[in-house]
A and B are shown apart, each in its own frame.
Chain A
Amino acid sequence: MDTVIQCFEHRFSCDILRNFIRYDTAYPSGTMLLREVKNEKLRQFFQYTLELKQEFSTNCMSNGLTVELFDLGNEQLKLLNRLADGETAWITDPMYLCAKQLLGISKLLDKQNASLRSAGFNKQKAKGDLEDEKFLEKCVRTIHTSFKLCLNDRNPNACENKKWGVYLFTNLELKIYKMLYNRDMVRNLVKVMDSRVSELPTPENALQLNKAQLVTYYYYMAEYYGCHEIDFERGYEFARKAWLSSRGKGGSQENTIMLLLVPFAMLARKWYPDLQILRAKYPLVAGVYEPVIKCLQNGDLFTFGKWLDLNESFLLRQNLFVAMVMIRELVLLKVLKLSFQFFGSGPIVSLKYVAAAVTKSESHQGVKQVPEEKLDSTECMLANLISKNYIKGYLSHSNRALVVSKTNAFPKLAATHAQGGCP
C-alpha cells in the first residue's frame, strides 16, 4: 500500500500499482492507513478500489460478476479521472488499466445478461420504447472522459502532457463502438482525432513501446476507412501497416488483419495474394478468399455470385460485404477481356457477343438468344467500365457495338510496386 501511495506522490506507475487496481488481486499489505491519506480524492480512489476487491472476493467468485462490481469499477475510473486532472502523462497508465478492467467487467455482464435473457430469465423492463442500457454503453461514457482528459491536456511540457495516452483510449472506444455496432460514434471519434492531428503526437511516436496498441489502432483505422467510408486506398494503407507491424507468428489478430487486407489490396491496388503463400501463412484466410481469387483469374461471375450469397451474413458481420460486391466488377472485367481474346482480331465487337459472354459467365447456361434488355444492361456496364478507364474505347449505341483501342483495349490496372510502394 505504501508503494501505491508513493506512485501518486512521486508520479510513476509500476506493477504494484497495476496489481492494486485489479479487482481480482489480494488486498495490499502495508502500514499506511486510509485515514492518513490527506488527499481526499486519492483516499476515495483507494477506498473504492478496496471495496471493488472485496465485492469480487465476496460475491463474484462463484456466481459471476455483479452489477455492484460494475458500479465500483466505474466509480474507480471516475475517481482516477478526477485525480488525473492535475496530473502528468504517468497517470495515463493506471487510467488505461482501470478503463480496460471496466470494459472487461461490462463485456462479461452484458454477456451474462444476454444468456439469462435467452434462457427466459431477466426479461428487460421496457422504458417507453427503449430497452435498458447495456453496461458497455455506460462504461464508454466514463472511458470517453479519460479520452477527453488526454486530448485536452494543456500542459506546455510536451513530455509530461497526457496527449501521449490518447491512442490508448481511442482504441478502447473503437473496440466498444464496434461491439455496439455504432458506426456514428466511430465516425465522430475519428473526426475529432483528425481535427486535432496537428496537436497530437503521431501514433508511431506515442505507441513506439507498445506495438500491440499500434497494430490495434491501425486495424481499427483500416476498418473505418475501408469498410465504413469505402476509401479502399486509406483502408489498404492502414491494413498494410497493421500487418507489417504484427508479430509475424500468425494468430487471430493477423488473420483478422488479413481478412481486411486482401480485399482492400484487390480494390485499391488491383493486387491479389499468391494462393500458395496465403495458404501456407494464413490458411483460414486462404480458405475464405480462394474462390474469389479463382473467379478473379477466370472471370466466373456465377461462382462469384454463389460465393457472395453463401458468405453474405459472414461478410456483413465483418463489414466486408460492400467491398466484396465491388470486387465483382473486376471479375466482370476479366470475363470481358477473355471474350475479346476469344473473339480474335478487330477492334469492333458486337454488343450481342459481349452480352453472350456476360450471360454465360453469370448463368453457366448455354445462350441461345440475347434479349434486348440484356443488351441495354451490358451497354450500361460497359459505359461504367469505360468511364473508369478500365476499358479504352467507346460505345456505338446505334450499331450496338463496342469499339476498343487497337493497341491497349484493357490497360493494366494493377499498381506496380514502384507506383504503390513496396507492399
Chain B
Amino acid sequence: MLDVSKLINTKDGIQSRRIFHDQAIYDLEMERIFARCWLFLTHESLIPNTGDYITTKMGQDNVIVVRQQNGKVRAFVNSCSHRGARVCAAEAGNTRSFVCSYHGWAYGIDGSLQGVPLEKEVYNNQLDKSTHGLVEVALVDNFCGFIYGCFDPAAPSLREFLGEAAWYLEAWMGAPGGTELIGPPSRSILYCNWKTPSENFIGDMYHVGWTHASSTQVLFSQSPLMALQGNASLPAPAEVMGMHFTSRGGHGAAITYGGRGGLYTTARENEMLGAWLAAQTPKVAERLGEARAKLYNSAWDGTIFPNNSFLVGPNTFKVWLPRGPGAIEALTWTWVEKDMPEELKRIIARNMNQTFGTAGMLESEDADNMESMTQSNDGLVTRRGTLNAQMGLGREREDAVMPGVVSDAMINELSHRGFYRYYQEMLVAESWDELRANSSKWKKVHLER
C-alpha cells in the first residue's frame, strides 16, 4: 500500500526515490496538486486585448486562456462538451469564438455554447445550450501581471497561496515600471519527472560551478558567478554571497547578492544593464525598502510551487508541464521590465535564449542531470533508496525583515526541503482546511533540531 506520509522526511532532509517513478504517486499528484494548486497560465502582456487568447496545460488538462469584453481574463478546458474534441488548435491569437473542428459547435470567448449546426433539425430544438458551455477553470487571478489559474474553487486566493514568497517575488516581478514576458515560448521535451527541474531551479546553486563548469568559464567571465567555476573554492563565505528562503506553500529561491548584472559576454551589454539597474534601484528602495532593493540587484533561481521556475539575471521564466512520471514539456519565456529600452529587452531575450532556451548552452547541461535523476529510479532496487537534501541543515532561522524561513547561505538545500515538505502535505491532505491546520507549525519542522 502507498503511504504518502512516509515519502518525505523534512526534518532530516530525506526523500523517497519513488516520487520520481511510481505511476500511483503521479496520479495522486495530478489529483491533489495539479487539480488544486494555482498553476501558471500566461502573462497580462501576452493577451492585452479583448479576444486575445493562448492555449496551455494545467497538469495534463488542455486549457484556453482568453481576455473577455470586460477586460477580465477567464480560462476554459479546451474540449468540446459534445464529443470531446478540442475547440482551439492554435497556440495563440485573437478571436470572437472557438469552434470545434469535429461538428462545428461554436463557443463564445465567455465559454458559452453559442452555435450548434442544424440545431433545429437534428436536436428538434431540445438541446439545452445553457448547460453545454466549456468547463471553466474555477479561479483565475494575477500577481504583478503573471496570470495563474486554479481548478479548485475551495483553494485560497493566489496571494494567500504565494504567502511569504509574494514579499520576495515583488522585488523583481513588481519592478517600478512593471514586468512583461516576451513570447512566444520555446517548447521542448525533457525525459524527466516534473519535480527534478522544479527542485533544481528552487535553489540549487551547488550545481552551477560543476554542471555548468564550461559555460561559467566561457560565458560568465564578467560575473560574480564566475567564482563558482569548477566548485574548487568559494571566493567568500557562502553567507556573504547570498541566502535561501522557503515559504509556507513550498515556494523558494536561492539568491546571490549583487549577481544580477555582469552575466553577458560583452562589456557593452553588461554596462547597459548595469546602468539600468543603478537607475532603478533608488525607486525600488523607495517603494519596497532597502532589503528588497538588494534583492532586485541579486541573481536568483527560484520555483513557485509546483512547476513554475524562474531566474533573475538570465531572466528565464519557465513552466514544466507534466506528461507522465517520466516526461515533461518545458515552456520558456524571457521576462523583462516593461519600461526598459527596446534594445535592452532584445539583448536580454537574445542572451536568455542562448543560455536557457531550446538551443541554450546551460539548459542542455541541466537536462542530462534531470533525466538521469529520474531514469535511474526505473531500477527496482535503486528506487527502494532515498535521496539527500541535507545541505545547510541546522542553519535555518527567522529574520526580522525577510518572511518565511531563511538561511544565510546561497549554496544550500533549505528551499528543496521546503518544497518537498509542502509536496507531501498536499499529497496527504484531503482538504484545504487540513492544510491550513498545519500553517501555525510549519516553520518548526525547519527550525527545531
Q: A and B bound?
A: no
Residues of B within 8 A of A (CB): none
Residues of A within 8 A of B (CB): none
